[in-house]
Structure 1
């Protein structure tokens, strides 16, 4: 049985944007967070591809990863993830082959099959590419071939990329990628930070379909967890209102630019909206160190996850740093 202190812990940064700062400050904050995470023992630092979202500055994922990897020395850097239908597999192989060549042994390539945006934006991204999610299994195979050793009959190669064997992860919020990751023998990351409802079933499907590969001899599960840790339960509850406001705006189709915390959410949401935000953040860990530890111990007991990756979108950068610092102390016991 895996205990909490044996579980690896990582960061998923959505590079949140505030109205009074803009993307530049957010990108610099991402590097500052990565540097702190490295010193606190975090295993990896991932950023996610999103488009046409004014509150998220990680759209140029591979470019940002180069900046973050260049400013750190040991923590793994990766995509959580690249939305493969938006891109030709060869382009992603070249981008991540370049990153791996520059920062060997530190790069992860997490892949998703969603657009990471609305359909209008997806069309703007893809132009003449069909980019269907139905092509995802074939696109993953093609990408794996580009990053693997060159074969004698291979006509198209990725340079850099060929032979780099960048670790590929499949990401998902439903059961499709869970089954595919198992069949391909790849590590699997479930997006329980926003889709907790299917978490247990996705883990079961992945483990049931897993076939050993050159990459893995047994399943490897990572779970996304929303985090708001503070020095007291009361302060954590206060800081969490900023997260609630962000998710509420997402559901309303409004701005995702960060909003400051408030003393109470009463009057800001309707009962059904409160319930919907609660479902979205069903796995959220909010509280002081003791409460955070208790919640994570239950999660670990229920899932036996190999790794937990935490997202923490607090309004003040200092509060985000403190949240991740407290978490590291909890994970180390």
Structure 2
């Protein structure tokens, strides 16, 4: 490891909660478990807790993302809570400014606004959300600029004002899985989060594009990159691999076009997927770290060496809620110990 390399103990750890709906459990259960997880990781020292906007997905309960952010922020005291992300094409920028201005007024200094340009759903549902799909690739940069204007103090003389929202210091992040968002985040001087937990292919190129195009802004003086990965930690590699079969089943259902709640783990995936399906799932899940604390520490440190990201956000697709809490606990302990290991 080079002298300039970062150690896991040097960087911030955060959480992406997809608010899974589990087979045999209610949506109310999902919300209860998310709040329990947020309180747990807050105590463990995680930096932020994000939820993502998804629609028409029977396995994910985070469609009303701003409402859930309020619920989680209201039930915690210090952890930052935000969107990973709000899918801006689905909303008028003014509405987003007002919603997040309201959240920031309720929970000052704790709200993050992560923005994505995908619909977070299928085309038919996107049409139901927007009524009009006559947009083009230029709309996203323009919408981001419009949103920034509504949140700025200089907007007070405008005919259209975001109240609340105007003049509030709400950090905006751009999210992406390609070089488009990376370039835009760099040009605007915004922090950038890459979705390597399900779309790993362009990670290294996007990070380079972001850093090469970075221009300092009022929000950020130097580039700040975060990558989201999957981590499933347990006491042993064997136990973790068993838990991971729920995640594999979820992605297998995506590939097959099946919309199902999260499934319990199975003894073996061999009977569940073909070789081609296994390959496709594992390509999508390339940045998925499964195992005991020792295995996780080694693999995650190698990922950090490769990417030199400033922060790692972790999604944990575990069916059993107690095992899910324990996974985040083991990860926090593992990363804290790297200071003495390295």
1:229 aligns with 2:239: no
Whole-Å separation in 1 of the counterparts to 2:89 and 2:134: 8
The residue matched to 1:150 in structure 2 has which SS? helix
1:177 aligns with 2:177: no
1:104-253 alignment, distance < 5 Å: 104-128=108-132, 130=134, 132-151=136-155, 153-253=157-257
* Among 312, 324, 328, the residue aligned to 1:324: 328
Report the equivalent of 1:54: 58
Report the equivalent of 1:254: 258
| 1:133, distance to aligned residue in structure 2 (A) | 4.5
- The answer on whether the counterparts of 1:83 and 1:113 sit within 8 Å (CA) in structure 2 is yes
1:62-73 alignment, distance < 5 Å: 62-73=66-77
Whole-Å separation in 2 of the counterparts to 1:318 and 1:133: 43
Structure-2 change in CA distance of 1:262 and 1:61 (3 Å): same
Whole-Å separation in 1 of the counterparts to 2:314 and 2:249: 19
Report how many aligned residue pairs link the two structures. 333
| 1:197, distance to aligned residue in structure 2 (A) | 1.2
Structure-2 change in CA distance of 1:320 and 1:152 (3 Å): closer
Structure-2 change in CA distance of 1:16 and 1:214 (3 Å): same
The residue matched to 1:197 in structure 2 has which SS? coil
| 1:220, distance to aligned residue in structure 2 (A) | 0.1
- The answer on whether the counterparts of 2:156 and 2:166 sit within 8 Å (CA) in structure 1 is no
The residue matched to 1:195 in structure 2 has which SS? coil
Please provide the CA RMSD for this pair. 1.1
- The answer on whether the counterparts of 1:114 and 1:133 sit within 8 Å (CA) in structure 2 is no
250-259 vs 288-297, which deviates more? 250-259
Whole-Å separation in 2 of the counterparts to 1:219 and 1:154: 31
- The answer on whether the counterparts of 2:150 and 2:162 sit within 8 Å (CA) in structure 1 is yes
Alignment TM-score, normalising by the size of structure 1:
0.98
Whole-Å separation in 1 of the counterparts to 2:257 and 2:156: 51
Gap regions ≥5 residues in structure 1? none
Whole-Å separation in 1 of the counterparts to 2:146 and 2:106: 23
Runs of 4+, deviation exceeding 4 Å: 128-133
| 1:19, distance to aligned residue in structure 2 (A) | 2.4
Whole-Å separation in 1 of the counterparts to 2:45 and 2:97: 29
| 1:130, distance to aligned residue in structure 2 (A) | 4.4
1:4-43 alignment, distance < 5 Å: 4-43=8-47
Gap regions ≥5 residues in structure 2? 338-342
